[in-house]
Amino acid sequence: MPSEPVDAFVLGAPFRWGVDRRSLPGIASLATILAVVAVPLRGLYRGTGASMEEGFMLVFPTLVQQGKVPNVDFLHLYGPASLDTLALWYRIFGDSLESQRTFGLLQHLGIIVAIYALTRAFGYLVATGAAVVAAFLIITPIGLSALAWHGGVALGLWALVFAARARSGGGLGDWWIAGGLAGAALGFRPDLALALGVALGWAVWRRRRELGALLGGAAVGLLPMWVHLVRAGPVAAIDGMVVDPVVRLRPGRELPRPPTWGRVDGALQAVAESLPPWWRLPAPAASHQLFLWFWAVIAIAVGVAAYVVVNRRRSRPEPGSAADVLMLAALFGLGILPQALQRPDSTHLAWVSVVSWPLLVVVGALALRRWWSAGRSAVAATFVIGALMLVVCPFFTYRPYLLHARVAVGNLPVPYEIERGSHRFWVGDPAVAAAMAQMMPDLDARARDGDRLFVGPGDLRRTVYADTYVYWLFSELEPATYFIEMDPGLADAEGSGMAEDIESADFVVLTNTWGGWTEPNASTELRSPEHNQAVADHHCLIGSYETNLVLLFERCDGGGGFNPADVAGRAPGIGGGGIDPNAPPTTQP
């Protein structure tokens, strides 16, 4: 393996403050990366939100501020640290959409800069190319939503940076920091245990003293998890963070492996492809891209790890060299591969690609150095990976990047805004925005602070998705249910407790936005009718908006006898009378 730059932070060099001639290449590299991130940024701040995922990242931290406990007071499938951190962030900066997206941006930058720091061991140009590839993969799948996965991966990658520094001659302090960051990452996403265990386990193999420091740091980093286990109780915590997502949820969320060649399996991606953004370049159909991308994700994650292992056996590098850095990162990239296998939609494929694909820039540059200079090799390797993305997955990388960039410069209009007081949310469907605008004054006129609000899908026999942001718009009302996040096989199961939650609600808002959700899994099954019946038995219909797209109910004596399932199939949008979510993608002129 070629000699590495001795001034790389990841190889033990101290961080340099100030500006001098030695720092100019690094400043130029970081400026290039930040410019790539900055181009679509204004559009990303005003982009359509994921109505459930971004919705619960707005709602859950405010509940934590009120003393509510995840897995006890509300369903949360991930670790507590993300919510705790966001709760603190909201106390300082407020719980606006922009505040939440700024936190999401910082998480994205944490991943991108960590990729830069790891690959900096192979030169400035390689590191710049790798970070740019990471930027196109991480800022496009779900915009700037402050999801726990991004925070967990960012912390995990920085744990690798400090583990590599420790192996390069750093003291036990670097091992403590690596362990602390790894523990914090697990507090965000416990399912990163495999990736961190494999990578850091290799780093401390046969190093007892270092292992103790690493585990000590991890114990400290896991402090939010220890607190959560005490507050929620180990049974409720394990049930919510392990049993629910791994056992109960999986039949209703898993997708075919590999993705279906002639059809987009994921409902959200299928809806997006029913009226896709502008893209003039020749490209495979969206379903074909997902099929090819799936295999490319596996091949690159495995291939990069295999290359590193074979190269190490041939060159036998010294401990603490650049080869160690590449080994750590490759093992981490291999360890997160199950994310792509359990639900291979565009989001999960991007989440896995963001580690291994930038490393392919390193591998390509090292291979090309046999014939070319280091600079030319780095540029060529970056170009090859960029071209691969243009062939395999342009609809899910370059196209959304271009879309947000056009919005940023005013070339395209912003999405449709739903605003109430200081809270706003962006949606992509004018009918949804209109229905919410009509419903909100009616709910405002009737509700009082502290009233209980239930928000769910139009047909509660299928809790496939939910417009969770409505809770945030009416933050003065108390969520009436444990199932603020709606998932198939959990909320809609018989005896889940949701019927009793509905009965306790003063107001019920049901949306048929996602009634046409179709995926090749158990989410298509109609489950318990008791939840619709609870609405009919205890609530009267107050208003129907945009032809049943949104329904508002109020608690009334004896119930109104109105069963939501009766109109769930007769609403516009993707539910009932509108878009077939599995229709072939069309090309917009």
Identify whether residues 254 and 327 lie together within a single domain: yes
Identify whether residues 220 and 289 lie together within a single domain: yes
**Minimum mean pLDDT among 418-427, 527-536, 546-555, 573-582: which range?**
573-582
Q: What is the pLDDT of residues 536-552, one digit of tens each?
A: 999 999 999 999 999 99
Strand partners, 543: 552
Identify whether residues 203 and 250 lie together within a single domain: yes
Selection from 459, 455, 433, 462 nearest residue 545 by Cα: 433
The pLDDT assigned to 586 comes to 28
Identify whether residues 427 and 468 lie together within a single domain: yes
Q: Are 164 and 11 in contact (CB under 8 A)?
A: yes
Distance CA 61, CA 72 (A): 14
Identify whether residues 93 and 147 lie together within a single domain: yes
Strand partners, 554: 507, 540
Strand 423-427 versus strand 416-420 pairing type: antiparallel
Task: Report how many domains make up the chain.
Answer: 2
Q: Are 571 and 458 in contact (CB under 8 A)?
A: yes
Identify whether residues 557 and 528 lie together within a single domain: yes
Selection from 576, 451, 558, 557 nearest residue 509 by Cα: 451
Domain boundary among 378, 404, 430: 404
Identify whether residues 312 and 380 lie together within a single domain: yes
Q: What is the pLDDT of residues 257-288, one digit of tens each?
A: 999 999 999 988 888 888 888 898 999 999 99
Tell me: pLDDT of 152 over 80. Answer: yes
Averaged pLDDT, 117-135: 96
**Structural domain for 492, as ranges:** 417-566
Does the residue 445 lie in any domain?
yes
Does the residue 67 lie in any domain?
no
Sign of the Cα pseudo-torsion (251, 254, 258, 264, in order) = positive
Does the residue 312 lie in any domain?
yes
- CB atoms inside a 10 Å sphere around CB 555: 18
Selection from 156, 465, 159 nearest residue 335 by Cα: 156
Does the residue 273 lie in any domain?
no
Q: What is the pLDDT of residues 310-334, one digit of tens each?
A: 988 888 877 778 999 999 999 999 9
Identify whether residues 384 and 422 lie together within a single domain: no
560, amino acid identity: G
Identify whether residues 385 and 433 lie together within a single domain: no
The pLDDT assigned to 367 comes to 93
Q: Are 396 and 140 in contact (CB under 8 A)?
A: yes
Identify whether residues 333 and 481 lie together within a single domain: no
Structure tokens at 535: 């609405």
Q: Are 187 and 222 in contact (CB under 8 A)?
A: yes
Cβ-proximal residues to 236 (8 Å cutoff; 6+ apart), any chain = 71, 72
Identify whether residues 429 and 526 lie together within a single domain: yes
- CB atoms inside a 10 Å sphere around CB 516: 23
Tell me: pLDDT of 582 over 50. Answer: no
Strand partners, 550: 511, 545
Identify whether residues 501 and 352 lie together within a single domain: no
Does the residue 393 lie in any domain?
yes
Does the residue 2 lie in any domain?
no
